[in-house]
Structure 1
Amino acid sequence: MDLHRPAHTLVLPIDCRVWPTPEHPIEIDGTVYAPKQELHITLIGSRLGHELHAALATEFLAKRIARAVAAQDWKFQRTGRFIVLGIRPPPVTMGGHDRAHPDPDPESDPAPDSDPDPAPAAGPVPVVAPRQSIIELIQLPAMRPFHQALGRLLGRQLPLPPPHVTLYIAHGRRGIGVASASQLRTRRIGELPAGVLPGAEQHSMARA
């Protein structure tokens, strides 16, 4: 994606021949998760993308990002570690009522070709289920030197986002961003056994 257009993210698409998208919804502990229609690895989340975009000239940033991407081998390996993430929208006041904010997570994976969740309408305060997702952690050695290069552009050390791929989502149309190891800890609900998910045994070394 174009880092200079909302949501200012950079993702690495995964070829469906390398890692097929899930085919069917699954139910875990009473929650139904919808399969993602495309798989990708988020290299730059929206919050970091906004910061880079605001701090650096467009042409300069584009060249430096392209150079940093080209310098790495983007080979990854699946780990078979499946994590359930959850985030509950914080309330905001609208028309005298507390309402759930439509997008409390600026690091969320963008839903391709879709608009953000609409703002809540007037009326009774809705009961909003926590947005959830199922991710698989991956091994992606290139992520560390890539973010070190980004940190040099900003003049500070950046947290290392845990490399992962979102496979399923629930109670929303977007994945849940994981910008750092601490954010993974706070948004983690639990870990699933590999046998719970279809195709979980297909762990392989691959290139996106």
Structure 2
Amino acid sequence: MIPSDDRRPSGHHAPSATPWPGLSAHDTLTVPVCGPDWALPCGERIVDGLVFVPKAELHITLAGRDAIAAIRARHGGPGAETLLRSAFAACDWRYRRTRRFLRLRRPQPPGPDAGSIIELLELPGLATFYRALADTGTPRPVPPAHVTLWTHARPQGIGVADSDALAALCVREVSLDELGLTRI
């Protein structure tokens, strides 16, 4: 996954150099984010009295389990992977960090509610990817582009299927200062 270069002219959409990541063991399509721009301060964060721990690995989920299952149901196993690869290869996967952080909460009866702190991203290629899927008869809502940075009571984070789910899960915006982030 390539961070956007702010010096590029706006509207530049060259094909992505991001290699096909393959489907995860959890049947999701994710791309890792890494490098010095994603180095988080060590240790947990306390937000609204809850302890959030840094996520072990950082990624952007392009297609969750439900989306992959719908594509497999429509196109079969090998056909689904071919379709996903083709749609992926046609997209520009450069992103821009927004520096907007949200605290999410999902009830987990009977235990403590799951929580996460995410950073929203600008990732135009994600909408292009979902248009390509819709063109093949598998329309799905475009999930909000984000990276889960810290979690509470559920180490893998909280799935966010679409903008309605994000609105329902969002508790509030969290400031850079609250997270101990001085530069990103």
The structure with the greater share of residues assigned to helix is 2
Unaligned runs of 5+ residues in structure 2 are 1-20
Do the aligned partners of residues 200 and 150 (structure 1) sit closer, same or farther apart at CA in structure 2, a change above 3 Å counting? farther
Partners of 2:41 and 2:122 in 1: CA distance: 20
Q: C-alpha displacement at 1:16, in angstroms?
A: 3.0
Query: After the TM superposition, which of the residue ranges 56-65 and 79-88 deviates more from structure 2?
Result: 56-65
Query: Once the two structures are superposed, what CA deviation does each residue of 1:130-188 show, in whole Å capped at 9, x if it has no partner?
Result: 100000001001010101112223x2532121100000000122211111110001011
Q: How far apart, in 2, do the equivalents of 1:174 and 1:143 lie?
A: 21
Q: Deviations over 1:109-146 (max 9, x none)?
A: xxxxxxxxxxxxxxxxxxx1110000000100101010
Q: Which of the two has higher C-alpha Rg? A: 1
- Amino-acid identity (%): 34
- Describe the SS at the equivalent of 1:64: helix
Is residue 39 of structure 2 the alignment partner of residue 20 of structure 1?
A: yes
RMSD: 1.8
Instruction: Select the structure with the greater relative contact order (CA < 8 A; seq sep ≥ 6).
Output: 1
Any idea what SS the aligned residue of 1:75 has? coil
Q: Which amino acid letter does the alignment assign opposite residue 85 of structure 1?
A: L
1:136 to 119, 129, 139: 119
Q: Tell me how far apart the structure 2 counterparts of residues 43 and 200 of structure 1 sit (CA, whole Å).
A: 28
CA contact (8 A) 1:79 1:138 kept: yes
Structure 1's unaligned 5+ residue stretches are 91-99, 101-127, 203-208
1:195 aligns with 2:177: yes
